[in-house]
Amino acid sequence: MAYSFVGGQKLRKNRSMLPWSKKHAKFIKFEKISPPSHVTISMEQHWREICSPTVKVGDTVSVGQVIGRATDTIISPVHSSVSGKVTEITQMQGLSGKQVEHIIIQNNRKHTTFNGLTPHTSSITNTTADEIVAILRRNAVTDFWPSPQSLANKIETAIGNVDRLVVKLFDSDSNTAVNYRLALENPQAVIGGIKLLLKALSLRRAIIVTEIKSRTLLRSLSTIEYPKEMLFFIEIKPKYPHYDNRVLISALTKKENVTIGSMFSKSIVIDAQTAVAVYQAFSIGMPHVERFITVSGDACSMPKNLSLPIGTSTKHVLSYCSYNNSTSTLFTSNRINGRPITENTIIDSSINSILIQKEHIASNFVASCTNCAHCVTNCPARISPKAVARHVKSDKILRARKAGLDSCVTCGLCSKVCPSGLPLFSNIIQAKQAMAKTPKDIDDASDKN
């Protein structure tokens, strides 16, 4: 029986990109992109963990070499994704929106690996949880959802406090196939990474979640030897936003409450990308310097699954995919809640897909609410986005929180299904951003008005 959740919206694929069509991203193998002439690497690879450069202009660096560190030892270092010469250190916007230093490296295209990288030689049985955490931190292994964060910190906090490890082998929407293809093409790396995380968390079994009708993927995983009781497979219906961790746990536990409560805090959720990064950190000692992305969309004639160095420009990726900038718009993630990007956007830990969409003429007309309740019935958090947005517009943040602002998973479905075109999603996002910038006294200040 396939699992599902209340609310959400069924994923519908483009007619030209049907799941059995050879044009669909699920049928496209990963390929390494042609080396970029240079990369721009942010000193903020994990959310709000900012490092300082340890190299200067003119230095020669190798793949995997540390180029940035923080004074706080729990913050992972930043590594070079190519070999070459540092040509510039400049200020640019980082993951959290702040101006942080970025290192620009001219690629010599030799892909020289740093000679200080060493694999972990001890067996998993003889490796302690502290050793696993230390290796994850040293190699800057990233947990990608909901925003890039240190997997080492996540595991360290979870040790002794979680009772389930959930691994997603599916993707956020029908246009993306990164996790599916990684698990299909690298089953040994995925299962190897899961084994290491089970050891660190002192758990016996992981829950593997796939979308329905993923028989090819399951056959690929069955070629790897592992204790049969180690993995428990379940299927989930492809319904947006099933990729959100809180929504996924809600589906697995068959409970409608998707707030961060006991059922969520007792679970740790990763995806195939994270599992592969864990395996590479242990097997070859390679830090997180590579990004896997899908390039697709209704204006993309042929989707591609690409492997590329972190810091590659979007322009270089699109030149590899015959992009026509006069007829389409770029998004990252998906069209519902994905953010628009440009050719100058740098591929970092927060980007796992580029969606090339046909341009649509947006209407400035916004009608009044018709009380149709579409936003409520489609909301996976089971809140009233209309009520939340109304309080936000009146600067009543405390009332918005009581109406469910904290429970919102920011999937964006409320705005998508609204027949009146109300900016519900943008209002909620503005409130969450304001709360992040002003953590203290925001409720009292807002509700005195």
Work out the percent of the chain whose per-residue pLDDT is above 90. 50
Query: What mean pLDDT comes out for the span 237-244?
Result: 86
Other Cβ atoms closer than 10 A to 280: 22
pLDDT at position 18 is 43
pLDDT at position 440 is 46
Assess whether pLDDT exceeds 50 at residue 175.
yes
The β-bridge partners of 206 are 165, 231
pLDDT at position 438 is 52
| 376 vs 263: CA distance, rounded Å | 23
* Band of pLDDT at residue 178, cut at 50, 70 and 90: very high
pLDDT at position 186 is 96
Other Cβ atoms closer than 10 A to 233: 14
148 Cβ contact partners less than 8 Å away, ≥ 6 residues apart = 45, 46, 47, 95, 142, 348, 349, 350
Instruction: Give CA separation, 149 vs 94, 178, 372, in Å.
Output: 13, 19, 38
Give the residue, 107 or 242, on which the prediction is more confident. Answer: 107
pLDDT at position 20 is 40
pLDDT at position 240 is 84
Instruction: Give the highest mean pLDDT range of 135-139, 262-266, 421-425.
Output: 135-139
* Band of pLDDT at residue 265, cut at 50, 70 and 90: low
* Band of pLDDT at residue 247, cut at 50, 70 and 90: confident
291 Cβ contact partners less than 8 Å away, ≥ 6 residues apart = 307, 308, 309, 310, 312, 347, 348, 349, 351, 352
Other Cβ atoms closer than 10 A to 315: 16
Burial class (CB in 10 A: 0-12, 13-18, 19+), 415: buried
Kindly state the helix (H) or strand (E) to which residue 154 belongs, with its residue range: helix 151-158
3-state secondary structure of 46: strand
* Band of pLDDT at residue 228, cut at 50, 70 and 90: confident
pLDDT at position 409 is 84
Assess whether pLDDT exceeds 50 at residue 176.
yes
Give the residue, 13 or 120, on which the prediction is more confident. Answer: 120
Instruction: Write out pLDDT tens, residues 2-61.
Output: 888 888 887 655 444 444 445 678 889 999 998 999 999 999 999 889 999 999 999 999
CB 385 within 8 A of CB 428: yes
| 342 vs 79: CA distance, rounded Å | 25
Burial class (CB in 10 A: 0-12, 13-18, 19+), 301: exposed
Instruction: Write out pLDDT tens, residues 60-116.
Output: 999 999 999 999 989 999 999 999 999 999 999 988 888 999 999 999 999 999 998
Other Cβ atoms closer than 10 A to 213: 11
pLDDT at position 337 is 66
| 449 vs 433: CA distance, rounded Å | 20
Q: ∠ at Cα 49 (46, 53), nearest 5°? A: 100
Assess whether pLDDT exceeds 70 at residue 443.
no
Query: What mean pLDDT comes out for the span 233-248?
Result: 88
Residue type, 265: S
Instruction: Write out pLDDT tens, residues 383-392.
Output: 888 888 888 8
Give the residue, 396 or 159, on which the prediction is more confident. Answer: 159
The β-bridge partners of 105 are 39, 86
Assess whether pLDDT exceeds 70 at residue 234.
yes
3-state secondary structure of 296: strand
Work out the percent of the chain whose per-residue pLDDT is above 70. 87
Among 13-17, 285-289, 410-414, name the one with the lowest average pLDDT.
13-17
Kindly state the helix (H) or strand (E) to which residue 104 belongs, with its residue range: strand 99-107
3-state secondary structure of 129: helix
Instruction: Write out pLDDT tens, residues 322-369.
Output: 676 656 678 787 656 677 888 889 999 888 899 887 765 444 445 678
Give the residue, 413 or 52, on which the prediction is more confident. Answer: 52
* Band of pLDDT at residue 444, cut at 50, 70 and 90: very low
213 Cβ contact partners less than 8 Å away, ≥ 6 residues apart = none
pTM of the model: 0.87
Q: Which among 273, 302, 303 is positioned nearest to 288, based on CA atoms? A: 273
pLDDT at position 364 is 46
pLDDT at position 79 is 97
pLDDT at position 258 is 47
Q: What structural domains does the chain harbor?
A: 9-29+119-283 (3.40.50), 38-107 (2.40.50.100), 308-357 (no CATH), 374-447 (no CATH)
